[in-house]
Structure formats: structure tokens, C-alpha cells
Amino acid sequence: MTSSRTLGNTSCVIPPRRDPPRRLVPLDGPSRTVAGNAAPDLINPVVGFRQWRVTGGELRSMFTGDRWKPGRMRAACHADRAHDEPPPVSDCTCGFYARYTPAPRTASAGTPDLVAGAVALWGRLELHAHGMRAEHASIIALALPLTPGPKRRRVRELAEALGVPAVPARRLKGIALRQGAPIPRQMRPPDLEPNKRKAPGEPDPARWHAVPDRGRS
């Protein structure tokens, strides 16, 4: 399980397709766009963005310390209260977290260990106002620090170990969109929190469910 702060006060669960997603295309392959009327039974991987901490030469979740590994990863729930459904579950905090948009380029600046990047997500998805949780994830790319120095060298070495590119922050979104598609805005639940400065808390249970994929077995 890889957790983070709240992603919003409203959520939406998208049932997964049981067939595997399309293979991730090479980074020099064609870019893809999403039609405005994209259906909720998402076939291709979904693109998301997040930050990690670099600890001992490894990429770890900022808040749980879970290690992110090369290749495809599947979320597991380690909560005391077990549930039969695979992560993410609406009344739990399990799953791989990601935002819909990249963090500001300066968000990791001035820190020795924070690094931003992009991920591909698929399987069971739960959408929140500002981000999502997913059953499966794979790292697409890491963003290089804005200035040269030891941190930039560490990010390059870490990206090489993970088998992903290290790219300038301004190119991160473009690189990510070659590997998947963003969640269309019309599918994102609205942010109903009136106090935008309120301290983050746990995500609320899901209030809507997308139409199930008729092709599921």
C-alpha cells in the first residue's frame, strides 16, 4: 500500500477491466489524446503525477515509506481492518496515489530528498477531486531538479536503476502522455470543500459509481 494525503472530499469508483492494459509504448512512440466523451471503462493506462522521497538510493512513498520498484506494481492493503475487494476501497486509504496534474516545478526545489515524477495507473481506480488511487502502477519518468548538483546526479542514477528516463520538469507531462491518457475533467468528482485552506484529512467514502464495463467476466 502506498498512501498520501487526502485527494479531495468526494470520490468516484471506476470498476476495473479484467483484461490487461495495452503495453506501454516506447518513449519515442506517438503521443495519444483522449476523446471528450471517453467512457468510464478505461482501456489504456491512466497518467498520474506524484512525489517521492529518495532514501538510501531507493524511491519511497512520502508518508508510508513503502518502496517503489521497477516495472509493474500491485497495491496491497495492510490496514488492520481487512476487506475482500482489491485496493483501492472507498472506506480505506489503500492503493497507489497520484494527482491529475504535475506538482509545481519548484515543489521539490531546496529539498535534498524529494523528487517528482509521472506514473501509469490501471485496474481498479477511485477518483477524488484532485487525484486518484489505483490498484496497479508503474513509474513512467522522474523529473530532474531545476539546478545542477548532487541531487540531480542522484535522480539520474535512480532513474537508471528503475529503467525509466530522468527528464526536465517542463517535459514530464509530455513524456507521460505518450504512455497513457489523463482522466477527463468531466469524470473527476467536484471539490465540495468550502474551506480551501482546511488541513487535509482522510478521503471520504465514495458517493458515485461509474457504469460497470459490460465486457467484464
CA distances to 72, 81, 108, 203 from 53, in Å: 19, 27, 10, 22
Q: What is the pLDDT of residue 153?
A: 94
Domain boundaries, the chain: 11-18+43-209
Strands 96-99 and 73-74 turn out to be unpaired
Which has more pLDDT, 170 or 217? 170
Q: What is the pLDDT of residue 28?
A: 32
pLDDT score of 215 more than 60:
no
- Encode pLDDT of 75-119 as tens digits: 988 877 777 888 888 878 889 999 999 988 888 888 899 999 999
- Encode pLDDT of 181-193 as tens digits: 999 888 888 887 6
- Encode pLDDT of 8-38 as tens digits: 444 444 444 333 333 333 333 322 222 223 3
Q: What is the pLDDT of residue 120?
A: 95
Give all strands (DSSP E) within 57-99, no chain letters.
58-61, 67-68, 73-74, 96-99
Mean pLDDT, rounded, of the chain: 74
- Lowest-confidence segment of 119-133, 160-174, 200-214 by average pLDDT: 200-214
Highest mean pLDDT range out of 18-32, 46-60, 80-94, 201-215?
A: 46-60
Secondary structure tally for the chain: helices H, strands E: 2, 10
Strands 96-99 and 114-128 turn out to be unpaired
Q: What is the pLDDT of residue 15?
A: 45
